[in-house]
Structure formats: C-alpha cells, structure tokens
Structure 1
C-alpha cells in the first residue's frame, strides 16, 4: 500500500464525472473580457514562451486537437532548457457566444488531464458548458505525455506495492525503509533532470503560459482533488488573471504533510463507516450484520490474516495486507464501487484475492501486461517537492501511531507508515505549508463533500475561508468530489457560475 497519491480522483469517479448534469441558459459576459483585469507585464525572459504559436493537429476521437507547448524547465533560469508539455482541446460546439477556454485537471498529482478530457470531460460535461467553452487540458510537467517522471520497472513496482506497510518489528521496518529508498533511487536514476522542477508552483506558471497562448485574458478552470491546489496556486500567483475557477474536493494548503496525512486517514475512516453502515444492512455483507464498528474490526482482522498469510489470486502475485488495503481504499472514492467491494471482500475471505487485487491494480494504474502508468511516480515527485516530509524516519512514525490509529482504527497504522515515504526523496522540498488568499481574484467556488475520503470536508471550509473571494458550496453526501456525480443542486450552481459568472451564495448546501 502506497498512499502518496490519495489526493486524486479515482478511475471510477472519472468514468462517471459529468454524466448527470443540468443545463443553464446562455447569457452573461465573457470571462475572457479584459475590462476588469489590470494589465500585468510578462518578464522579458519569458516573452518568447508567452508569444509562441501552437501547431494543432487532429488526434484521438473526432473533434480533438493536440499540440506541444514549450515552457522553461527552470523558471529561475529559463534560458537553460525547455520542457515540452502536451496539450489537447475540443473547440466549443455552439450554439451561443464562445466564452473562451475551460482548462480542466482531474487531480493526482499525476493524473493525466488529457486522458480525462478526451475520455470523459469533453463528452460528459454539461452540453451548455461544452457549447460555449473550448474544453482544454494540459498534462502537467512530469505527468503522462509531458516528459513523464519514471522510477521503476513493472516488476520492481509489483514488488514495491507488496511490501508490508504495518511492520511488526525492527526487521520489517527496515525492509519498508529499504523499499522507500529504492523507489527514490529509481526516480533519481531515471528522472534526475526533471525531479527538481515538477512543483505545483511551476505547473501553475505553465498554466499561465497556456492561457496566453490560447488567447484568453483570464484563466477559466475546473480542478478536482489535487487540481484544487493547482488552481488555488494559480490564483495566488496571478490573481488578476483568475477567471471562473471551480475547486472541487478542495485541499487545504495551510497544512503540513503530517497533519494532511492524518486528516486523510480520518477521511478514509469516515468513508469506511459510511460504507460499513450500508453493508451491515445487507444479507451479503461479508463484514457481518452488526454495527459499523464491528464491521471495521472484521476488516482489520482480515488485513491481519492476509499479513500473516497472503491468498492466491490466479496469477503469480498473491494478495497480502498491503494490496488488500489499497483495494479497499480504491473503493472508498465512489459509492458506486461498494457492491464490487462487498463481492471482493467475500471472495478474499474465502481465499480468492483476485477481485480485491483488481481494485488495487486500478488504483495503481497497472495494466494487464504488468506495466504501470506514471501516476505513482509523478505523484511522489510532486508531493515530495511541494511539502517537507511528514516523518523523517521510523521513530517519528512510531510516536505518531496513536494519533493515526485514533483517526482510523482500520487504516491508521498503515497510513502512518506510508506517510514516511518522502523522508528519503533525493530532491529537497521547495514548497512550504501556507495560507492562500489570492487577494484581488474574482469569485472562486470551492466545493466540499461531507464524507469525502481523500479531501476531508473541513479542508474545503478552510480553503474557502482563506481565499479572499472564496465561496463555499457543500455537497452532503459520499464519495470524492461533487460536480457531475448526481446532485442537480451542485451541477446547477456550478453550471450557472461557469456560464453566467454568478457564484452560488457562500455556504449553499446541496444533497
């Protein structure tokens, strides 16, 4: 189990994002209009990047275009080297006056925004939004098609994901440390040049170049999960250029890594309790028909059994505690996966770990041929650069275990040890926890889900309170993120904001 990329939108959520939406009538002023935006100068060293012309070509499904954009690898020394970033768009379909570009990011860090747009957003976002906006995505630096960070071979990654992350003694703790060091060394070996330059600040600066290259005076943006941190960072850097920003499943940038990881641990416990409350009411619940707490004890018991003796899966890999925990966590992102999880747990308790392994493989983006997408590698590279490590070694983890286990009796121990991963990263963190106020920015809509597992609701409240122009929109429900997940109230509020520029009333609640 590796939890560095818990702040992400899951594959299940990607498949359903934007499918249930409500239309809004056209109207309002263009968010690209420059009347209210003070002129901001571009540094001389960056003018060639801002003035570049993209060469678009047809790609993917009908209607999509792709291009390659250049940005400086190092913004402090832009003359030294470029980085090439992959961009895609699908032009506004009409009718109605075009409102400019709508940049979207699905989270991660490490999720491919291009895959998200081409597979889902440009098809599943509400028709009135697609009619008036060009749907645009850029894979952030180090991600997928944009000079991806690489770390391990498929076989090495298989071994890494199976390491015991609830060590029972010094020997097992040593093996876990060795696995983290090996992962970091692999990244340093295969991606040394890019590792120091994949921070969220740099990715946000890339977004401003893209905004200018697309011809938009302001950036209009929908970011989910980690994408909310990316969007908030953009607003912090370029408040006068922030257009209509939706931050769904918000992060709290003021938290240090240890507090963030502990909050996430509590978030997964909240999500599990919701799953368990539903499960114990059903005859097919493998965790019993008692109470949610009892279900949690039964699940923890299963993890302990798999720690002692992994079960077969029909392939060379066996299902141990680490992969089983990852499989359960994967299903917490979207309540539509609860049925699949009940079935997978039932099979695992009967000695067949194939279904739970499949959930873990989806989470890790492992293909049937044993290869992995670069999500895990990019995620580690960005997270370990953005914040100093939560822990510097095993002794600090052991001291924090009571707090993590209090946050989640089911997941606390494993998530505490997983939080040590950045301790051995080869590149020193360049970011620090801080409040983001984005003074002078236009209204920014921050969306929080009350039982969100990966981005706890209190983070949305905090970010909305930090942002000078933040307005909080609440979804009382389960799952990770809210837009396009079945709430007409949420969808209408966001659609109205994107199309008309009118944000929902601060504190509006939906179910």
Structure 2
C-alpha cells in the first residue's frame, strides 16, 4: 500500500477418483453445498460442486509453485456471477486452495484467509500459514485469489512486464512542473484505458472487482465448502473485506480475526496521511536500531539520519544507478525498497546493507527489496497481477479525487507526515489513475453498521507502518469486538511466530474465547 501496505455435509460426496497408479492424487469432485443461507436466484452457485486437483497450474511464480504444491494442498475453481445483479449472465472463476484438517474427527470447519493488498493472491498465504499454531489440526486452511487476481479468471491486466519496468525507471513523479503534471495525467489516463482494453470482459469486469463483490464471492465459497457459518482471517486490506462481509452477511459469521486493520471511516486522503505517519515512525525506529551499529549507513547521530538518508537517495532523481543486468535503480525504486523493508524489523539488516551499497553507487539490495514489493520474479522478470489489481480495486472501492487542489493539499500533508520521503520537490497536483477510471466506484468510507454480529477479534500493532494502530482500535470499537494489542514495529502479527499473539488468536478461532480486555503482547 505504497505509491499507487463443524459443519455437516449438506449433500453427498461425489468422488471422481482417488489416486493414480504412481500414488499422485487425481482430480476429485465433491459437493458440500448448498449450506446455510442462500440468496434467491443464486442457488446454482451456492450448491456447486468443486473439483479439487493438483495446484501447479494455479501458481503465478516459481516460489508460489513450491508453496502451493506441497503435500496436502489441493486447488479448485469456484464459479461466481460476474455481476451479482445479473446471476443469469456472464460468469467468472475464483482460484481456491484447501489443505484439509489433519484431525478430521475434531474438525470445526474451514478457515478462509485473505492476505490483503488489495489485489494480493491468497493461495500461497494459506498454504504457508497452515503449518503455524496447530490450527490446521481442526480447520481446513482455505486461500482464494480474489476476482481478477492470480489464478482467477479473467485477470486484471493493465501493463506488460516491459511497460512496468519502464514506468519504474522513468521516475516521472519527481517532476512537479506544469509540464510534468500534464505528462503524469496523460500517462495515468492511458493506464486506465489500458486496464479496460486488456482485462478480460473489459469495463464490465472492472466495474465488479471491488470489495462489494468479493464478499459475495466469499459467501458462495462458504456454502460450497459446506460451512453454515464463515470463519475468516484477514490481514491488512483483508480486514476491509472482513468488515464488509460482516456488514453484508452478519448472520453468516462464526468467527473473524482482522489483523492490521484499515480504518473503515477514513477517506483516501486521510488514509494516505495516516500511512505516511506510520512509515515515518517505522523509519525513526529503524534509525534508532541503526545508529547503535558501527556500520550504520546513516551515521551514528540519530538527529542527522534523515538528512543523511535524503542525501543518499535524492541524487537518484537525475542520476539513477545502473545495475549489472542493465536495469537502473531510480529514486522511486529506492524509496519503494526502503518502504518494503520498513514493513518488518527482519528486513532492517538488508535495508542497512542496501543503503551502504548506495554509498558505493551500487543498488542491488534496494532493487531486490523494490522487486519484492512490486512482485517481480527475479528469474523471469515477470510481474504478478497484484499491482494492476491494487489500482483497479482501489478505484472502485473509494470515491475518486478529481480536483487538483485536493490532490495538492493531500501531497502537502503527506510530505509533512512522512518527511523522510520528501523528494525535495514541490508537491504535485497530478491526478492518479482513478481520476480517469472508466467505471464508477461501488464503495465509500463509512462506519460499519452491523446487527447480530458475533464477537470478532481485531489485532493491532503499535508500530505498524502501513495500517496504524489507532485504525485497529477504531475498527474493534465499530464492530463491538475484542482488541488484542501487539507491541512491535511490523505490519500484522498473527501466525508470525509470537506465541502470545498466536495463542490468543488460536483460542478465539477454536473456542470463540476473546482475550481479556486490554490484553497486550510484545515482541
């Protein structure tokens, strides 16, 4: 988020096969729905069969392929309406992964997981997390690629890999002159047009990729999995999905963990500023760690570290660093790499190494960090769908900003909130791609209105740079649920190795027991 952070079977189990002669499972078709509440007109979707098969064909990257093809992982495509107001019209498919509970006799149901983004693919996240905290003993771990993302079809497509590389290298955002602003506006207008032209089903797809529609897909998935009620785990933007689901289907919720919350009442400008403040705090924490080291890239004086950082990165605006493979580390890529590292204390070491490299006119580490953020494969140079999907989803989730004066004010406030990212140029009034989006927004910020929602659990981290702590406090209050505070500098916390957080979340998901009021954990 930077620049652009036990149900019973409802129907008979139908088996298409068991194993091949070599012992490799073959496709297996089963029908578990319809289960629970079924909206009128959607019966065929809620009661559909799912064919579980090998996951290799669902992977976007080599790393994904290794993760989602591990033992026990099976994948399927869920069919849903393109437009829920026209259930007899076009359909699309959603990629789904499941790792079944290892103690089926004690199975509670499915744990449906979303990693955030918006636009992040969810299969590998569910596969990776299934080994944590013992939750897979009693829950099927289920990940899904939201509509338009990853293994879902069609995929939101805006830029080619080459165009994405070129966009990153150009650094147009640092030119805030009238001519520079006009050029950025034209490029963003062109980007919006390409999204409509290159995405399967065109503008109709773009009009229906927002959170409003994703939560309806999740409810179809809940029924097809055979769960009368949804048990859900959402990280970061996944908390917005969870909140919207809770508003839309409150009676269908069993349990919900929302970690790294977005404040549902913030507009895009206030959210941008709050995020800037979060990254500034994370940068300050990094500096505090760095200046204790002999090899600190920013010197040993914390009061001078921000100036030292800017002296390192600002020259890249006009003199990018050429890497061994011929790519150029731009100012934008350098700062993106820094932001990527600020998501977790575990990345501070490579960040310090990268900044020390930059002193030697080298940029390998910072580019690796930027590529990780942009999800660019190091071997093939291919990008995942995340960045295109991020823009498309945000453009329909929130009202667009079309007034240059409002943009100018927002950029001014952001520079004040995150001065370490001030590029030294005047604020820009350039509009973003959403200002030129070919379809209207389908959502807007608001406090959730929930009736009959069971207690939910929000986890919020005090030093979270991307989704600041207070956003979690506000969301827990709005949902009338519990709050677990984690004292650390990182983005999200559950199932990431802290036993205090993991034990509390596991107890809630299994037994529906919320942690004591005021419960805090620390790293």
Do both share a fold (TM > 0.5)? yes
Counterpart secondary structure, 2:488: strand
Contact 2:156 2:389 in 1 (8 A): yes
Counterpart secondary structure, 2:520: strand
Deviation of 1:506 after TM superposition, in Å, equals 3.1
Q: How does 1:320-469 map to 2 (within 5 A)?
A: 320-368=330-378, 369-389=380-400, 391-392=401-402, 394-411=404-421, 420-468=432-480
Distance 2:175 2:157 in 1: 27
Distance verdict in 2 for CA 1:442–1:181, change over 3 Å = same
Contact 2:37 2:252 in 1 (8 A): no
Counterpart secondary structure, 1:45: coil
Alignment of 1:240 onto 2:251: yes
Alignment of 1:220 onto 2:231: yes
Distance verdict in 2 for CA 1:446–1:31, change over 3 Å = farther
Alignment of 1:189 onto 2:201: no
Alignment of 1:145 onto 2:114: no
CA-to-aligned-CA distance 1:422-446 (integer Å, 9 cap, x gap): 2222222111111114221111000
Distance 2:74 2:174 in 1: 46
Which of residues 95, 102, 119 in structure 2 aligns to 1:110?
A: 119
Distance 2:209 2:178 in 1: 34
Distance 1:290 1:72 in 2: 58
Distance verdict in 2 for CA 1:255–1:412, change over 3 Å = farther
Alignment of 1:44 onto 2:51: no
Contact 1:271 1:478 in 2 (8 A): yes
Distance 2:495 2:125 in 1: 14
Distance verdict in 2 for CA 1:387–1:416, change over 3 Å = farther
Q: How does 1:4-403 map to 2 (within 5 A)?
A: 4=4, 6=5, 30=6, 41-59=37-55, 60-94=69-103, 97-118=106-127, 120-123=128-131, 125-127=132-134, 129-147=135-153, 148-162=155-169, 163-191=171-199, 192=202, 193-291=204-302, 293-368=303-378, 369-389=380-400, 391-392=401-402, 394-403=404-413
Contact 2:404 2:430 in 1 (8 A): no
Counterpart secondary structure, 1:510: strand
Contact 1:31 1:244 in 2 (8 A): no
Structure 2, unaligned runs of 5 or more: 11-34, 56-68
Distance 1:31 1:268 in 2: 42
Distance 1:418 1:228 in 2: 29
Deviation of 1:2 after TM superposition, in Å, equals 5.9
Distance verdict in 2 for CA 1:400–1:228, change over 3 Å = closer
Deviation of 1:249 after TM superposition, in Å, equals 0.5
Deviation of 1:232 after TM superposition, in Å, equals 1.2
Deviation of 1:40 after TM superposition, in Å, equals 7.0
Counterpart secondary structure, 1:410: helix
Q: Which residue of 2 aligns with 1:16?
A: none
Q: Which residue of 2 aligns with 1:12?
A: none
Deviation of 1:290 after TM superposition, in Å, equals 0.4
Distance 2:320 2:119 in 1: 30
Distance verdict in 2 for CA 1:456–1:421, change over 3 Å = farther
Deviation of 1:183 after TM superposition, in Å, equals 1.9
Distance 2:8 2:184 in 1: 50
Contact 2:118 2:238 in 1 (8 A): yes
Normalising by structure 1, what TM-score? 0.89
Contact 2:212 2:442 in 1 (8 A): no
Distance 1:308 1:58 in 2: 48
Distance 1:32 1:61 in 2: 27
Structure 1, unaligned runs of 5 or more: 7-29
Distance verdict in 2 for CA 1:412–1:438, change over 3 Å = farther
Distance 1:89 1:412 in 2: 44
Q: Which residue of 2 aligns with 1:476?
A: 487
Deviation of 1:393 after TM superposition, in Å, equals 5.2
Contact 1:258 1:419 in 2 (8 A): no
Deviation of 1:246 after TM superposition, in Å, equals 0.3
Q: Which residue of 2 aligns with 1:9?
A: none
Distance 2:311 2:474 in 1: 36
Q: CA RMSD for the aligned pairs?
A: 2.2
Counterpart secondary structure, 1:478: coil
Counterpart secondary structure, 2:309: helix
Counterpart secondary structure, 1:473: strand
CA-to-aligned-CA distance 1:173-218 (integer Å, 9 cap, x gap): 2232233223212211111141111111110111011111111111
Normalising by structure 2, what TM-score? 0.87
Deviation of 1:62 after TM superposition, in Å, equals 2.0
Distance verdict in 2 for CA 1:297–1:323, change over 3 Å = same
Considering Cα pairs closer than 8 Å and 6+ residues apart, tell me whether 1 or 2 has the greater RCO: 1
Q: Which residue of 2 aligns with 1:491?
A: 502
Distance verdict in 2 for CA 1:344–1:493, change over 3 Å = same
Distance verdict in 2 for CA 1:171–1:302, change over 3 Å = farther
Q: Which residue of 1 aligns with 2:64?
A: none
Distance verdict in 2 for CA 1:53–1:95, change over 3 Å = closer
Deviation of 1:317 after TM superposition, in Å, equals 2.0
Counterpart secondary structure, 1:197: coil
Counterpart secondary structure, 2:284: helix
